[in-house]
Amino acid sequence: MDGMAQLLVRNLDDGVKGKLQTRARRHGRSTEEEVREILGNAVREEGAPRPPLGTRIAQRFASLGLTEEIPEFRGQTPHPVDFEP
């Protein structure tokens, strides 16, 4: 079983604490549980390879009906878009 550590955060801004409490209530958790969830999420993907940009865009907009593939442009030089006709 994994060990459990304790962490004490000093000098936390009152506004941050209030927002954490509000967020915890919104998720139906205690403030302590909410902070554990936030910290766990922050480090969960640390060191994991990040999906390419096209894949992330497709995932983000899949619920809106995006079904076509977005090509990955690795190794290509980016150029600014020209919006003039």
| Number of other CB atoms surrounding residue 34 within 10 Å | 19
pTM for the structure as a whole: 0.54
Q: What per-residue confidence (pLDDT) applies to 20? A: 96
1 falls in which pLDDT band (50, 70, 90)? low
Could you read off the pLDDT of 59-76 as tens digits, one per residue? Answer: 888 888 877 766 777 777
Domains of the chain in sequence order: 14-64 (1.10.1220)
- pLDDT number for residue 28: 96
31, 21 Cβ separation under 8 angstroms = yes
How much is the average pLDDT of 21-44?
A: 93
| Measured CA distances, 35 to 15, 28, 30, 47, 48 (Å) | 15, 13, 9, 21, 22
